[in-house]
Structure 1
Amino acid sequence: MKISVDHLHKIPDFSTVPDDQLQWLIDHSHLQKYNIGDFSFEKGDAIDSLFIVLKGQIAIKIKQNGNYKFVSYINTNTIGGLLPFSRAQSALGYGEVTEDTELLILEKSFFKEMIAKHYELTESLVHNMTSRVREFTKNNLQSEKMMALGKLSAGLAHELNNPASAMLRSAKALKKHLSHVPEKFKRIISIQATNEEIDIVNNLLFDKITNRPENNMSLIERNEKEDQLEDWLENHNVTNAYELTETLLDFCIDVSAIKSIHKEIGAKSFPTTIEWIENVLTTEKMVDEIEEASDRISNLVQSVKSYTHMDQTPEKVATDIHTGIKSTLTMLNHKLKQKGIIIKKQFQDNLIAPKIFVSEINQVWTNLIDNAIDAMDHGGTLTIITTKDDGDFIKIEIIDNGKGISKEHINAVFDPFFTTKSIGKGTGMGLEVVQRIINQHNGSIKVTSTKGETIFTVCLPIN
């Protein structure tokens, strides 16, 4: 293929570069051809030359646990490889040729002459580098956010499904339960009760509903009390005793309490009265279940709002760091419960609120806590400690008792695309994004790890 200055002018970055400088580029470069299936570069190869794709296409891929993951394409008229003033040293991934490709390659040894004598050409390449870095950063930050969002959405859907299902079950049960009320009401008004007897029943119900006692009975103790209560009720002419015992014991109405009701009401009215008491308490219990499920959904929605900070402007604001950590734990609660993780929160009281970008810092907690969960076996312990250090920083330590990070990997954990997770479980960008966000806040992050204890320490400036 014969390359000309006119050909290079079709490349947007070179549109304003003088002809003599483009001719210099052509004269000092060489052509390299690749066939479909070839690799133009592989992971670990030295980045020691600039290349221009004259025709064809190269797919950039990274390898994770023996599998290739697609990142992006390098298409015709795209500039790649080493650029002036770039600090890149070796390839992080692979360049697989997907169409027959021809490259124009300029070796690094010519860069000094280019920088010294060809200003416009150098300037266009530097602009290309800054655009490349900006696009790379934006794409990978978005990719990491989407992965984090996917994890949180799956957990949140599960968390919301439980109370929503509970509400539906309780609502259906309540509807069915209320359909029997007219018949029970008919029986209760047929009782010739005195005002004093009615007051006794009303006072009991009011007391149990407004001051519902805590039921701390063990399973064995409860089973024994249910059997005793059922036997006592059957011996006192209550025909459906087995249907009543569960609700009565939920409100701590056992045999001793039933005896006092029987004494005050009398044997004749007792069966209908105790049935009515159980009916009212059952209604109350179902309403409580619906209320509890509604509160759970409301709290989850509030946690999402707090986590995303979606009702605030995207600027640094003084924020209680504990709020974001708690919201993140709520978002990841499904994974925590799945693995039976024990949470230990050692939060310093009255900790000074640093000025932060709230949603970005919450992404830091998400990545660090999610990684900690993945590193631990079932029943692990996650410890989160917040303190103010001796200077003008607050310190947050996220500690897990998992398998740890090996010595050969610990220095690479913040590198782009580095991950020990399998394809689909990690982008290799999580900790790189974390470090970038912390740097954006003029803070610091470091990691120490041994088997059974990995500590990520984040320091954020107060001012």
Structure 2
Amino acid sequence: MNTVTLNELKAIPALENVPDDQLEWLIAVGETVDFEEGTRIFDKGNPLDKTYVILEGRMRICAEQNGKMREVTVLKQQTITGYLPFSRAVNTFAYGEAIEKCRAHLVLKDKIDEGIKLHYELTAALVHTMTSRVRDFTSQQQQNEKMFALGKLSAGLAHELNNPASAISRGASALQDQIKNLPEIFKEVAALSIAPEKIDTINHILVNKTKQTNRPVLTMMQRADLEDNLSDWLADHDIKDFNIAENLAEFGFTTEDLEHMNSCTPQPKLVSVLDWMSNYLLQEKMVSDIKESSARISELVNSVKTFTHMDRDTDKQLLDIHAGIRNTLTMLNYKLRKGNIQVQEDFDLNLPQVKALAGELNQVWTNMIDNAIDAMEANGSGILTIRTQLDREFVCVYIKDNGVGIPPETQSKIFDPFFTTKDMGKGTGLGLDVVTRIIRQHSGTVKVASVPGNTEFTVCFPLIDN
């Protein structure tokens, strides 16, 4: 192997301003090593006890994310990695391997720590390398978690959009079938000789029923009894189409209404009037269902737009903290219903606005609420309580679930990067680490208190930043 030269180290941008004597010291205390392609240079969990100066070739760093080994980054020649001065890391979080023949200069941690006292410029260069590495890794880590969160949301969102879309499709198809019946029904009704005042009476009953806003909500038993009464009345008047009874019951018609219409209709033509009326009521219901489903789709689309558009803002804006929480609940509604989870909101709607990046706060709420849902999964049901209040100079959000809880020995680790208690494929171990970083960027705090059946996260934002 060829020992590293002074010129090779001087060619590395991070070391170009370090005095020669300090670089010569770095050469003297280390060793130059060759790694063949495919060589595992270090494994996850190994002691972080060496500094690697990559002179030739490339090294790949891979970590476990979402249950799979994923490439975190590729380190090229003239890159410095491994242990760096003042690093608090004790063990490697990933593994490194040579993806082509690689030559590197290795220096043990003890020698680097010794150099801190002897060589100021060298130490400053290595510290600068560390801060750049942390910044780049943090940015990539946050983006990875954001994409993972969006992936989880998109699955539920697809279900949420599919339901109203399917309802619109069914309603439009059924409405088309009903419209096809109109010409024949019109012929029968047009042939009737009904006095104008009688027509007005029938029309008055119909309009009142369709426009009634305070229609009582019937239980299943009450609805069945009403349909039976209407069916019996129709049978007594030789009308065999019992679908009419179902449509009339939907709009709250009673046998008294039928008696009134019967008195306004020439005998035995009541069936023609009821056919026309039933067709009209069915169309009214279909249009109402289509309108409701369209509104649901519009609500979901608006939630998505609100959830994601904030990332365009590079400066913090004053915002109502409840808007982001409610949008997140809308986005996670499918998962909440699937988990049979009841949401209880206890919001102080008079809270002052918080100065923040809404897109980043939405990421906080998504991670925390999604974790709470997962914690209640084993129970088959649960209660998610979200409370907001003003605590002196802080706006505080409390997110509580009645899931399995977090063991005491785990609570100190849950905010660490890559730590997860979820099954393989369900978590990256980045969520709460990203949550912590975002909240700190907003000068806020996050803490947790947990016992089995009661876990509560508290997030507080200072108003002084406003």
Shared fold (TM-score, shorter chain, > 0.5) = yes
The Cα of 1:66 is off from its aligned counterpart by 8.3
8 Å contact kept, 2:311–2:359? no
8 Å contact kept, 1:367–1:431? yes
Secondary structure of 2:242's counterpart equals helix
**More deviation, 361-370/50-59:** 50-59
> Which of residues 366, 370, 381 in structure 1 aligns to 2:383?
381
Q: Which residue of 1 aligns with 2:368?
A: 368
Q: Distance in 2 between matches of 1:373 and 1:113?
A: 49
8 Å contact kept, 2:10–2:16? yes
Q: Which residue of 2 aligns with 1:148?
A: 149
Q: Distance in 2 between matches of 1:251 and 1:35?
A: 79
The one-character-per-residue Cα deviations of 1:35-59 (angstroms, maximum 9, x if unpaired) are: 6665433344332331223345444
Q: Which residue of 2 aligns with 1:277?
A: 277
8 Å contact kept, 2:313–2:357? no
Q: Which residue of 2 aligns with 1:187?
A: 188
1:98-117 alignment, distance < 5 Å:
98-99=99-100, 101-111=102-112, 114-117=115-118
8 Å contact kept, 1:64–1:421? no
The one-character-per-residue Cα deviations of 1:305-332 (angstroms, maximum 9, x if unpaired) are: 3322449733222222111111100000
| Alpha carbons of structure 1 residues 421 and 38: separation in structure 2 relative to 1, 3 Å | farther
| Alpha carbons of structure 1 residues 362 and 160: separation in structure 2 relative to 1, 3 Å | same
8 Å contact kept, 2:418–2:430? yes
Structure 2 unmatched ranges of 5 or more: none
Q: Distance in 2 between matches of 1:177 and 1:148?
A: 44
Q: How high is the TM-score relative to the length of structure 1?
A: 0.92
Q: Distance in 1 between matches of 2:20 and 2:312?
A: 52
The Cα of 1:273 is off from its aligned counterpart by 1.1
Q: Distance in 2 between matches of 1:311 and 1:58?
A: 33
| Alpha carbons of structure 1 residues 85 and 312: separation in structure 2 relative to 1, 3 Å | closer
**More deviation, 434-443/33-42:** 33-42
The Cα of 1:31 is off from its aligned counterpart by 3.3
**More deviation, 81-90/285-294:** 81-90
| Alpha carbons of structure 1 residues 347 and 452: separation in structure 2 relative to 1, 3 Å | same
8 Å contact kept, 2:394–2:463? yes
**More deviation, 328-337/19-28:** 19-28
| Alpha carbons of structure 1 residues 395 and 66: separation in structure 2 relative to 1, 3 Å | closer
8 Å contact kept, 2:417–2:429? yes
**More deviation, 10-19/432-441:** 10-19
Structure 1 unmatched ranges of 5 or more: none
1:430-441 alignment, distance < 5 Å:
430-441=431-442
| Alpha carbons of structure 1 residues 155 and 325: separation in structure 2 relative to 1, 3 Å | same
Q: Distance in 1 between matches of 2:311 and 2:412?
A: 38
Q: Which residue of 1 aligns with 2:5?
A: 4
Q: Which residue of 2 aligns with 1:85?
A: 86
Secondary structure of 2:337's counterpart equals helix
Q: Distance in 2 between matches of 1:171 and 1:47?
A: 64
1:188-337 alignment, distance < 5 Å:
188-214=189-215, 216-239=217-240, 241-310=241-310, 313-337=313-337
Q: Distance in 2 between matches of 1:112 and 1:87?
A: 13
**More deviation, 183-192/107-116:** 107-116
Q: Distance in 2 between matches of 1:117 and 1:46?
A: 24
Q: Which residue of 2 aligns with 1:408?
A: 409
8 Å contact kept, 2:311–2:357? no
Number of matched pairs = 461
8 Å contact kept, 2:199–2:264? no
| Alpha carbons of structure 1 residues 77 and 154: separation in structure 2 relative to 1, 3 Å | same
The Cα of 1:69 is off from its aligned counterpart by 4.5
Secondary structure of 1:448's counterpart equals strand
The Cα of 1:100 is off from its aligned counterpart by 5.2
1:419 is matched by which residue type in structure 2?
A: T
The one-character-per-residue Cα deviations of 1:409-440 (angstroms, maximum 9, x if unpaired) are: 11011111111123432111110111111111
| Alpha carbons of structure 1 residues 64 and 162: separation in structure 2 relative to 1, 3 Å | closer
1:380 is matched by which residue type in structure 2?
A: G
The Cα of 1:219 is off from its aligned counterpart by 2.5
| Alpha carbons of structure 1 residues 120 and 312: separation in structure 2 relative to 1, 3 Å | closer
The Cα of 1:172 is off from its aligned counterpart by 1.7
Secondary structure of 1:92's counterpart equals coil
Q: How high is the TM-score relative to the length of structure 2?
A: 0.91
The Cα of 1:298 is off from its aligned counterpart by 1.4
- Percent sequence identity over aligned pairs: 45
**More deviation, 32-41/447-456:** 32-41
The one-character-per-residue Cα deviations of 1:62-104 (angstroms, maximum 9, x if unpaired) are: 3579864443333443211111233333322333455554432
Q: Which residue of 2 aligns with 1:455?
A: 456
The one-character-per-residue Cα deviations of 1:333-370 (angstroms, maximum 9, x if unpaired) are: 01101111111111124122222211111111100000
Q: Which residue of 1 aligns with 2:399?
A: 398
Q: Distance in 1 between matches of 2:68 and 2:301?
A: 38
1:418 is matched by which residue type in structure 2?
A: F
Q: Distance in 1 between matches of 2:311 and 2:265?
A: 58
The Cα of 1:136 is off from its aligned counterpart by 0.2
8 Å contact kept, 2:193–2:266? no
Q: Distance in 1 between matches of 2:186 and 2:93?
A: 77
2:141 is matched by which residue type in structure 1?
A: N
Q: Distance in 1 between matches of 2:127 and 2:213?
A: 72
Q: Distance in 2 between matches of 1:57 and 1:215?
A: 73
Q: Which residue of 2 aligns with 1:72?
A: 73
